[in-house]
Amino acid sequence: MLMLSTLSPERRTILGQLIRFGLVGGFVTGLYAVVYSPLAKFHVVSPQIANFCGYITAVLTGYVLHSRWSFRGHGNRDNPAGTTFRFFLVSLVSYALNAAFVFVLTDSKALGGPWWWPLIPIVFVTPAITFLLNRYWVFR
């Protein structure tokens, strides 16, 4: 079992950020899924439009929660406009990843799977990539 007292202060900080990011990310990803799923499942809109609606909901919520809690006290906050700009660039990366997952996994020109297939990489792959980008670039 990992003993927190054996970790260096830097590793404890990163572990704390990772835990907070996981909690917020889980909430935000769940929020995304709550918006995306009914729109895509019941064909209210195309899966890509459902993805965009989920993205907008998640990115706005995620920015507030990640900047105020997940990465609180981390990095230089002297330039909040720069941090905000970098956060939204990372959010566009996450949007592009999720759009690619939606296309490859649901579009009839690709795998043509059910609406829920993209949720698997959206839950496991996208958060890992965005944590690294947020930790080492956005909130540096």
CB 47 within 8 A of CB 118: yes
Q: Which H or E run contains 48?
A: helix 47-65
pLDDT score of 77 more than 60: no
Which one has a higher pLDDT value, 106 or 64? 106
Tens digit of each residue's pLDDT (9 = 90 or more) over 33-75: 999 999 999 999 999 999 999 999 999 998 888 888 877 766 6
Q: Which two tokens stand for residue 54?
A: 């989920």
Which one has a higher pLDDT value, 6 or 100? 100
21: pLDDT confidence band, cut at 50, 70 and 90? confident
pTM of the predicted model, to two decimals?
0.77
What ranges do the domains of the chain cover? 15-138
pLDDT score of 2 more than 80: no
4: pLDDT confidence band, cut at 50, 70 and 90? low
Q: Pick from 77, 94, 81, 78: which is nearest to 139 by CA?
A: 77
Alpha-carbon dihedral angle through residues 116, 120, 121, 125, given to the nearest 10 degrees? 150
Q: Pick from 13, 18, 11, 14: which is nearest to 130 by CA?
A: 18
